Amino acid sequence: MTADTQKALFFFLPEIKITSLEPLGDGNVNDTWLIVSVPGEKYVLQRLNPFVFPDPGLVQDNLCTVTYHLQARLNQIDADFTVLKVIDNGNGAHSYIAHDGACWRMLSYIDDTQSLNTVSTADQAREIGRTLGLFHQLTSSLPPSSLADPLPGFHNTPLYLKQYDALLPTAQECAADCRDFIDERRHDVSLLEDLQKQETVRQQVIHGDPKVANFLFSRDLKRVISLIDLDTVKPGLLLHDIGDCLRSCCNPSGEDVREPGDVVFDQDLFAAMLSGYFNNASDLLTVTDKQLLVDSVRLISFELGLRFYSDHLAGNRYFKVKSPKQNLFRARVQFALVRSIESKYTELMEICGAVHNKFV
């Protein structure tokens, strides 16, 4: 255990005696550990990435606001969902700021659960959709103005494109396939951004990162128990969350495969996730939202590919990597997913129509 980890741990739990401290999950930005105490209590200790979250106080305030709201709503309705708890140091402090300025925090560990990096059955996809719909129902009564925006421009695809363009003159290398892929689609990246200015799409508090690994399943993988990683909760479009969730849920090969040739967007998982979502939240969606489901997953996959590729060109400053080309490989996976969505566009639109008709 490093000196910083020890200081952070004892800041929150000065009396703790631990049995083990192990890295938890494969988050791309923060560092996370599972702590087990001598009596067997489990806790999650996290160091927020200061490069990604330059103002961690906003992230922490949002986290407290959202967990409080979710719990209050769940106390009123009958829903099978566990909200993670933010642990303070006994004096109301939820953050420990280390000497390097990094923010550490402690969260409850939701036991008897497991997280998956990929979905393998339609039932799992339906559960994920159901839970995202429940999350949106629960957050729909939280005024967006009660949350700060800790990541301005987080889903602003045209802005990511500008940042990519600015990197090009000084980039050491260029992957021609990625460059051409981006150039062929650069005319068509502002759809979701333009919609933010309109009232035809639903804007409310969103999760911001509803990828498969953030849904905690029961041990038998039959139910989703929680949706974790609330760093990115913020005002946004439901289409951002639905698109992001679908891009992760309908890619059974996962984000980190080396060979993008195998990557396909799975239409059966798409239908299942959407039917789970519509079952809980179709009333939240506007007519325009329903028309743009396929475009939102296409654009969010493109956006994430662009973010990975830009980070590769910039020297891997944002997303953690285990090898120098990992962000390039990750970008190619997202671009392969975009191609697959484009090739199935009509079929996916028909599925949306069928799911919509089932729930009107």
Number of residues forming the site for ligand GN1 (CB under 6 A) = 10
Burial of 123 per CB tally in 10 Å (0-12, 13-18, 19+):
middle
Which residue lies nearer to Mg ion by CB, 30 or 95?
A: 30
* Cα gap 150→156, rounded to integer Å: 14
232 binds ligand GN1, rule: CB under 6 A: yes
* Cα gap 280→341, rounded to integer Å: 25
Sole binder of ligand GN1 in the list 8, 11, 12, 28 (CB under 6 A): 28
Residues that bind Mg ion (CB under 5 A): 209, 229
Which residue lies nearer to ligand GN1 by CB, 46 or 275?
A: 46
* Cα gap 264→253, rounded to integer Å: 8
Please check whether residue 111 is in contact with residue 258, taking contact to mean a CB–CB distance below 8 angstroms.
no
Largest CA distance in the chain: 60
Query: What's the closest the beta carbon of residue 234 comes to Mg ion, in angstroms?
Result: 12
209 binds ligand GN1, rule: CB under 6 A: yes
Sole binder of ligand GN1 in the list 69, 94, 211, 312 (CB under 6 A): 211
Which residue lies nearer to ligand GN1 by CB, 13 or 150?
A: 150
Instruction: Tell me which stretch binds ligand GN1 (CB under 6 A): 24-32, 39-47, 74-82, 157-165.
Output: 24-32
Strand stretches in the chain, DSSP E: 18-23, 31-37, 42-47, 86-87, 96-97, 103-108, 113-115, 203-206, 215-218, 224-227, 234-237
Please check whether residue 262 is in contact with residue 253, taking contact to mean a CB–CB distance below 8 angstroms.
yes
Please check whether residue 352 is in contact with residue 62, taking contact to mean a CB–CB distance below 8 angstroms.
no
* Cα gap 50→65, rounded to integer Å: 21
* Cα gap 298→342, rounded to integer Å: 8
Query: What's the closest the beta carbon of residue 190 comes to ligand GN1, in angstroms?
Result: 19
Sole binder of ligand GN1 in the list 18, 29, 87, 321 (CB under 6 A): 29
Which residue lies nearer to ligand GN1 by CB, 52 or 182?
A: 52
Q: Which does 21 bind (CB under 5 to 8 A by kind): Mg ion, ligand GN1, none?
A: none
Q: Which does 52 bind (CB under 5 to 8 A by kind): Mg ion, ligand GN1, none?
A: ligand GN1
Which residue lies nearer to Mg ion by CB, 209 or 241?
A: 209
Binding track, positions 290-309, relative to ligand GN1; x by CB under 6 A: --------------x-----
- How many Cα atoms are found within 13 Å in the side-chain-facing hemisphere of 333? 21
CA dihedral (219, 222, 223, 224) in degrees, to 10, reads 70
Q: Which does 252 bind (CB under 5 to 8 A by kind): ligand GN1, Mg ion, none?
A: none
27 binds ligand GN1, rule: CB under 6 A: yes
Query: What's the closest the beta carbon of residue 199 comes to ligand GN1, in angstroms?
Result: 26
Binding track, positions 52-91, relative to ligand GN1; x by CB under 6 A: x---------------------------------------
Q: Which does 304 bind (CB under 5 to 8 A by kind): Mg ion, ligand GN1, none?
A: ligand GN1
Query: What's the closest the beta carbon of residue 340 comes to ligand GN1, in angstroms?
Result: 18
* Cα gap 68→194, rounded to integer Å: 32
CB atoms within 10 A of CB 93: 13
Q: Give the binding site for ligand GN1 (CB under 6 A).
A: 27-29, 52, 209, 211, 229, 232, 255, 304
